[in-house]
């Protein structure tokens, strides 16, 4: 394993960590690698350095494998020009496409640059509708890519709702699953501690 005590991983170490996740492995092995390496990468590096970007897909995929019965899992190498990851059960391989949905106008990379001003989140009286709209736009954007396979769409919904909007968002998720049933094998949404 890479020893990065008290320092950021180098580009080479990021590449090695990414490569280690591209081999077929058990979910436990995959999760362990992600959980050991991800904390070594600062938020500034994660959101602003392309070599670290694989973690933005690896972390949600690791969460998926904690909640699903999966025999094997892997990230997909960029050279393969496929989806972000794959899971395998018995003789079936399922492609995974990962996307993250943010607040309207939010550019998280800017938030984590050195000396960047932190944005203030304003009260949104229509927050449930805002979240549902952002989710719908994100899913449509992925569906418009017309993948060669029918992947599982793994959505990380990174919008804080204070827990009071679950019903509205869950209704939107059900509607999107029906609307895009031909584009995606399944739509899974990770929202805070919820898994829909």
At 48-96, the pLDDT tens digits run 888 898 999 999 999 999 999 999 999 998 777 779 999 999 889 999 9
pLDDT for position 111: 54
Res 1 pLDDT > 60: no
Nearest residue to 155 via CA among 172, 79, 6, 105: 172
pLDDT for position 110: 53
pLDDT for position 177: 93
Nearest residue to 183 via CA among 76, 70, 99, 116: 99
Stated pTM of the model: 0.83
pLDDT for position 172: 86
Nearest residue to 64 via CA among 194, 130, 154, 129: 154
Q: How many residues does the chain have?
A: 196
Res 18 pLDDT > 60: yes
The three-class DSSP label of residue 190 is strand
Q: In angstroms, what CA-CA distances link 178 with 74, 101, 174?
A: 28, 19, 6
């Amino acid at each position: 394993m890479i020893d990065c005590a008290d320092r950021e991983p180098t580009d080479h170490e990021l590449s090695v960590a990414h490569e280690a996740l591209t081999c077929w492995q058990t979910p436990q092995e995959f999760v362990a690698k992600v959980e050991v390496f991800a904390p070594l990468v600062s938020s500034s590096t994660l959101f602003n350095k392309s070599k670290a970007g694989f973690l933005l897909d690896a972390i949600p995929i690791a969460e998926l494998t904690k909640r699903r019965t999966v025999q094997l899992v892997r990230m997909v190498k960029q050279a393969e020009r496929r989806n972000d990851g794959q899971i395998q059960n018995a003789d079936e391989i399922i492609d995974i496409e990962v996307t993250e949905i943010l607040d309207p106008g939010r550019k998280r990379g800017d938030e984590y640059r050195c000396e960047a001003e932190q944005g203030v989140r304003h009260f949104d009286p229509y927050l449930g509708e805002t979240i549902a709209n952002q989710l719908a736009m994100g899913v449509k954007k992925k569906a418009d890519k017309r993948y060669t396979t029918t992947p599982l769409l793994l959505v990380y919904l990174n919008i804080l709702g204070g827990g009071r909007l679950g019903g509205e968002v869950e209704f939107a998720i059900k509607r999107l699953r029906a609307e895009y049933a031909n584009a995606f094998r399944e739509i899974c949404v990770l929202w805070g501690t919820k898994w829909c």
